[in-house]
Structure 1
Amino acid sequence: MKAYGVTNSNLDSMIEFDKQMETPQGRDILVKILGVSINPVDIATRKKVQETKEPKILGYDGYGIVEALGPEASKFDVGEKVFFAGDYTRDGSYQEYEIIDERIVARAPKETSVEKSVAMPLVTLTASELLYEKLHINPAMDNRDKTILIINGAGGVGSIAIQLAHLAGLKVIATASTDEKVKWVKDLGADLVVNHHQDLIKQVHDLGIENVDYIIGLSDNDPHWQEIVELIKPLGIFATITNLRESQVADLKQKSVDFAWEWMFTKAKFKLAAMSTQGEYLEKLADGLDKGTIDSTVTKVFHGFNLDNLKRATKLVEAGHMMGKVVVKA
């Protein structure tokens, strides 16, 4: 079968090659890939690849048809359409057929297109774990007295985090830096918008808000660290998906602020029992997409699942100016 992988840290090293098709074992399923989407983690992972003769297969969003089941797999039937984000320890979705554990997979939306569906798994799992597991937000509770600041609201994770926070009833402040992105985050459910290229403390205070209950950092935290420390409420929670290089978590100590990392791949990497929650989150996503309570954030689609389109799509994301998600569809 065809597969696409990189042999070093440069995008130009991505090649098409023949790979032996695997047979699913245990709770694995074999999925014929019909679409993928590009994420920053694809780029970050590629940049760590040392020169190798065994191409590294990236791709952490996938949509396809179940072709075969492992002996312990019982969640799906052959022929069903599914979508998923994937497992960082295994080959990704840039291949014709992918092996994946059924516990982190869900049936694809029935009324939503391939491109709109496959744009959403990784970012939705990340946002769901941030809000529900790291910030401990219960969407069934009355959260109208709670305020969340989402830094980098127009990015992939930010775009779904805004929607989920809005659905949970929080007052949502999102950052965006251009008129187009301001409109984007407002349309997704942000109540208020501030510009992360300007003083966040002044802007939030000018909105009549002294402190916020929750802050999510979805871009480089260091330029905003003192703003984060100042704006978070005592006993609040700060969670992030990005590294801290110069920022000191101890700065949050006097406010007794909880700090949490989010890495979507943790549950599958360590084979935690909780990995099944990812399949459950994706089931809710499929339902939300079909019912229209969740909007897909796909903004660019390349038609044709091939080497050229994977490279072109990656270049768009790597440029760092994309709003929403980029998809490559078979």
Structure 2
Amino acid sequence: MRAVTISGDGPTAKLTTSQVEPDEPGEGEILVDVASSGVNRADLLQRAGLYPPPPGAPAWPGLEISGTVARLGAGVSDRRVGDEVVALLDGGGYAEQVVVRASQTLPRPDGVDLVDAAALPEAVCTAWTNLVDTARLQADETLLVLGGSGGVGSMAVQLGHALGARVVATAGGPERAARCRELGADVVVDHRTEDVVDAVRAATDGRGADVVLDVLGGGGLGDNVRALAPGGRLVVIGLQQGRTGELDLARLMAKRALVTGTLLRSRSPQEKAAIVEAVGEHVWPLVAAGRVRPVVHARLPFDEADRALGMLESGEAFGKVLLLP
């Protein structure tokens, strides 16, 4: 089968379409014919050699797909050959076929095209588990989404709005700001021209945000703590501005605030299955009702995988970029 593999090392590494041997589904697994693969920032890191796949995962990138069930492994009873599904993967999604644990799949949600459905699994699972399980976001609280135009950010804006929170999002430029408002953001801060902390305080009568979902990492740590309300929760899910930063502990203590960081890919199969199950129960009805939707910037063929990653790296993409076999 065809897969998009990594050629070279470090900053000069490229993605190349290659022939690889497909896997066979084992106990509790299914084989899926891929309709579409979602592109994520983790794939950029993997291409550069900075984020190796976990043991047992294919060597090529790809953390989410949509497609049709082609074969069942032993013990699988809740999927059938021919079912249209989406899947959260440990890796290997840039391929014509993938093997995945059935517990990490969900039926294609009603009202969403099978190709575009690949934009959902990684973004929805990441946003849901961090907003609900980790941050314990409540209705009527204020959520600050750093990077509201990104793949996870655009989903977090929609979920925060659906959960009844007041959503403040950052975006670069008036056009992207307008699109964030369309997704449910109550306030959008243009990070190119406005001070984010001042804007958050102005939008909350000086109180700050109850939850900050942060993709910046070390470079944004100080400002994000400043933006927190008393009792606030800062959840770091990205490192776009580095992996280290200074933390004013006195400020953190005075606010009785929490700072935590999470990854999805390195979690156990049991944890991932629980997150996928919760998404199916709580988010899939929102998708079917049109209250949450995939946000797709571009759909490109496998041969243009490097261009797809470039759209994320440059900040061009609004929402998700998809690769089609």
TM-score higher than 0.5: yes
Q: For structure 1, which runs of at least 5 residues remain unmatched after alignment?
A: none
The structure-2 alpha-carbon separation of the partners of 1:232 and 1:12, relative to structure 1 and needing over 3 Å to count, comes to: closer
Q: Give the number of equivalent residue pairs.
A: 314
**TM-score scaled by length of structure 2:** 0.88
Where does 1:174-323 land on structure 2 (aligned, <5 Å)? Answer: 174-197=169-192, 198-243=194-239, 244-248=243-247, 250=249, 252-267=252-267, 270-273=268-271, 275-282=273-280, 284-302=282-300, 304=301, 306=302, 308-323=303-318
The structure-2 alpha-carbon separation of the partners of 1:204 and 1:315, relative to structure 1 and needing over 3 Å to count, comes to: closer
Match of 2:85 in 1: 82
Secondary structure of 2:128's aligned partner: helix
Match of 2:33 in 1: 32
Conserved 8 A contact 1:158-1:218: no
Q: Could you tell me how far apart the structure 2 residues matched to 1:93 and 1:249 are?
A: 40
The structure-2 alpha-carbon separation of the partners of 1:13 and 1:321, relative to structure 1 and needing over 3 Å to count, comes to: closer
Conserved 8 A contact 1:60-1:86: yes
The structure-2 alpha-carbon separation of the partners of 1:208 and 1:2, relative to structure 1 and needing over 3 Å to count, comes to: closer
Where does 1:19-168 land on structure 2 (aligned, <5 Å)? Answer: 19-48=20-49, 56-87=59-90, 91-137=91-137, 143-144=139-140, 146-168=141-163
Deviates more, 1:94-103 or 1:4-13: 4-13
The structure-2 alpha-carbon separation of the partners of 1:111 and 1:195, relative to structure 1 and needing over 3 Å to count, comes to: closer
**TM-score scaled by length of structure 1:** 0.87
Conserved 8 A contact 2:125-2:279: yes
Deviation at 1:276, TM superposition (A): 2.9
Amino acid in structure 2 at the alignment position of 1:14: L
Q: For structure 2, which runs of at least 5 residues remain unmatched after alignment?
A: 52-57
Deviation track 1:52-91 (CA, whole Å, cap 9, x = no partner) reads xxx831011201111111112222111101102211xxx4
Q: CA RMSD in A?
A: 2.4
1:324 aligns with 2:319: yes
Deviation at 1:284, TM superposition (A): 4.4
Percent identity among equivalent residues? 23
Deviation at 1:282, TM superposition (A): 4.2
Conserved 8 A contact 2:217-2:237: no
Amino acid in structure 2 at the alignment position of 1:153: G
Amino acid in structure 1 at the alignment position of 2:203: L
The structure-2 alpha-carbon separation of the partners of 1:236 and 1:49, relative to structure 1 and needing over 3 Å to count, comes to: closer
The structure-2 alpha-carbon separation of the partners of 1:79 and 1:280, relative to structure 1 and needing over 3 Å to count, comes to: farther
